[in-house]
Structure 1
């Protein structure tokens, strides 16, 4: 890691990174808890509803993450502009508006596809009964897609201004609300009939809508944000900025989609192996996803910190911002790896009853999956923060290629081979995923190390 003679500058960077990253991390944890709550509640319905929910949520998540990646372009664009001109208003507003336009444009075809969840899952070889149950969850859930993307764009705006606390408070409130409304809609209460999986999807969509409305209200009324008039003349076209969002955001979207969809593909492969493997994967992936929220938050923070330094023309600031977040992220994931090894059944018990006979085979499988997850925690954190470091430099196309080669060319191919030809079953899929993550992390970090030689730092 490059060193600076001024150790106080590194301490200052660490403090600034933590101040920005902590609310982002907690916001990510809160958002992950919304999905984890849904899994935990649906798990009380039994093994088959949980398996169906995994199929539906994973199909929905593939489109959601692509959209999130696309609108994530707003963060480095806004950060670089603020680095150049501290009090810039017009350009931040342009970026916000056109990113929301992009979000709406991408939602229209996504809604059409998700409406046909059952036929898609059957075409992928899933059991018709599970596919039909998954569709009952996705159809109400999909309408929360645009509100969620709007929330992400608003969060990028407040993060670029280095004031992400409002997004955190709203996300925490959303966790509580989501648990309450989904408990009622899934299981019923008083005059409200139990809606099962449909209720889980409906409750999550309502939660997403309230999150978007809440953060919109904040940016329109808080004196620190309202001068930007983000929603003023929202209909005004801006083809140049619209195209710029697409150019920067599309490689990010594809990169994130490649990572997430390889896990989604793993879910469908688990469905071919059996319902027990599918349910066990659903439990293990939720636990791994919760720990991933920390490096994800650091990735979002480092994109802003590197972008600000890039806008200022501060080469050493770029170095400090990148490495500070990197070591924080990998250090945390090393600690999480120890926890996954030491207490897997305790973690699993948060999602399903350990004494439920319908999970008698799924729980040991989940324990074995978590053992593999422990092995890839550090490399998962490294690739996530590494991608954020490069994103701050507006370097998104080559990382997309890294993701395609690592996640799909190596990870999924190896996993499928071990699972079906090597006789490893679901464990083989997880070993393949871990290998793919390791390859991508090495490539991302190597590119960051060579950033000057590759001409990525243009001051």
Structure 2
């Protein structure tokens, strides 16, 4: 088979994995976007409070997400080596890791109001954010278990059931959020607490559906992944922590930067914070596509590693990266052209300062959308090789020694204000993407199997 045929075959296999995973990610972010859009009818103050709540939630949630994401490379390498016992061990240990980490994360979110007040946020916004968190925090454990199952299904080349479950959850979430947020059809009007509680209920439902697929449907049931699930595999748990802990900390550094950016916006003004949340939500939607590709890259690289196929490793990373660049560029152009219409989705037919600033931030944010796609795909390729420690160092340098100082200085020591925060985010992301690409190229070129 020629080199071009190898690349075409790799592209086909990557797309088979990436498309359902990316659509799943878009479906999950659609549920969050639905929350924000419905909350937005309460006004900019409610949107700002939801932004603060998501900041607290995701800064705590991402540590568990990083640990659980190690299920995918472990299971993928076991699948490539035709080791079904290793596949089911990977899922089981991911479920246990999620349980161990969920409780302290929930405790952090339940103290969200105090945390936000200590960080200088207004008492009104902090109180509203806590109301939302009181309902949303219960979704942490089912969401982590759902991620572990997604990693298992992706590793065995069957990510479609997770997509089907997510597609069914989108309208269910929208309806339940509406009912509990506004108190429709005789249900109590629970406000922001109701919106968060609705999302938690839907997350429990998606988990139950995923467990049914694992236990009852082919090809998953042949792995008997839930058999003896009460046994903790401490040996593999240590391996998962070695791989997953650096991913967790890298995620915390990345999401922490965006969370810190939200706090800077809160200091600037409530208008800046609301506009930042809208622009950040759009960026999160765009991020879901390359994030899906990155999971496919993790699986494809992991399969090639287990086959001891050095050229396959290089090919998997190259194809995933170029696919992400192409899609990221197209999505960026779409956002630039539609940025004014996007603001009205969240704020209605509004021409106030929040809408105008949202459109401006989306224009500035377009400078880092492609870089964001590159960094997540390169990181996914490196995870397929179990290389997670040096990327953690790169994240520290890029986000906190370069990105955050740039955002802070441009926001408060130049006339740029909120725009300066987003320029700083762009700079940090571009540096991180460059370092990760260079790291993957270095490891892939020196990879030789005896």
| TM-score bin (small chain) | over 0.9
Matches within 5 A, 1:332-347: 332-347=327-342
Provide the C-alpha distance between the structure 1 equivalents of 2:143 and 2:357, rounded to a whole number of angstroms: 33
**Structure-2 change in CA distance of 1:458 and 1:436 (3 Å):** farther
The Cα of 1:354 is off from its aligned counterpart by 2.8
Q: Which moved more, 1:232-241 or 1:248-257?
A: 232-241
Q: Which residue of 2 aligns with 1:92?
A: 87
The Cα of 1:193 is off from its aligned counterpart by 2.0
Matches within 5 A, 1:209-228: 209-228=204-223
The Cα of 1:457 is off from its aligned counterpart by 6.2
The Cα of 1:265 is off from its aligned counterpart by 0.7
Q: Which residue of 2 aligns with 1:386?
A: 378
Which one of 6, 11, 17 corresponds to residue 9 of structure 1?
Answer: 6
Q: Which residue of 2 aligns with 1:133?
A: 128
Could you say which structure has the higher helix fraction? 2
Provide the C-alpha distance between the structure 1 equivalents of 2:229 and 2:79, rounded to a whole number of angstroms: 21
Provide the C-alpha distance between the structure 1 equivalents of 2:279 and 2:154, rounded to a whole number of angstroms: 30
The Cα of 1:423 is off from its aligned counterpart by 2.9
Q: Which SS does the other structure have where 1:16 is aligned? A: helix
The two structures, once aligned, show a CA RMSD in angstroms of 1.3
Give aligned pairs, total: 450
Question: Is contact 1:298–1:329 with CA below 8 Å preserved after alignment?
Answer: yes
Q: Which residue of 2 aligns with 1:267?
A: 262
Provide the C-alpha distance between the structure 1 equivalents of 2:407 and 2:218, rounded to a whole number of angstroms: 52
Matches within 5 A, 1:38-437: 38-85=35-82, 88-355=83-350, 360-437=352-429
Q: Which SS does the other structure have where 1:450 is aligned? A: helix
Runs of 4+ in 1 over 4 A off after TM superposition: 455-459
**Structure-2 change in CA distance of 1:240 and 1:456 (3 Å):** farther
The Cα of 1:22 is off from its aligned counterpart by 0.4
Provide the C-alpha distance between the structure 2 equivalents of 1:413 and 1:46, rounded to a whole number of angstroms: 31
The Cα of 1:223 is off from its aligned counterpart by 2.6
Question: Is contact 2:96–2:232 with CA below 8 Å preserved after alignment?
Answer: no
Provide the C-alpha distance between the structure 2 equivalents of 1:249 and 1:418, rounded to a whole number of angstroms: 34
The Cα of 1:458 is off from its aligned counterpart by 6.0
The Cα of 1:233 is off from its aligned counterpart by 1.5
Question: Is contact 2:309–2:449 with CA below 8 Å preserved after alignment?
Answer: no
Q: Give deviations 1:132-159, integer Å, cap 9, x for gaps.
A: 1100110121111000000000011110
- TM-score, L = length of structure 1: 0.96
Q: Which residue of 2 aligns with 1:23?
A: 20
Q: Which residue of 1 aligns with 2:31?
A: 34
Question: Is contact 2:310–2:449 with CA below 8 Å preserved after alignment?
Answer: no
**Structure-2 change in CA distance of 1:127 and 1:458 (3 Å):** farther
5+ residue gaps, structure 1:
none
The Cα of 1:102 is off from its aligned counterpart by 0.8
Provide the C-alpha distance between the structure 1 equivalents of 2:135 and 2:122, rounded to a whole number of angstroms: 21
**Structure-2 change in CA distance of 1:376 and 1:90 (3 Å):** same
- TM-score, L = length of structure 2: 0.98
The Cα of 1:312 is off from its aligned counterpart by 0.1
Q: Give deviations 1:364-422, integer Å, cap 9, x for gaps.
A: 11111001111111111111111011111110000111111101111111000100112
The Cα of 1:237 is off from its aligned counterpart by 2.5
Q: Which SS does the other structure have where 2:250 is aligned? A: helix
Q: Which SS does the other structure have where 2:184 is aligned? A: coil
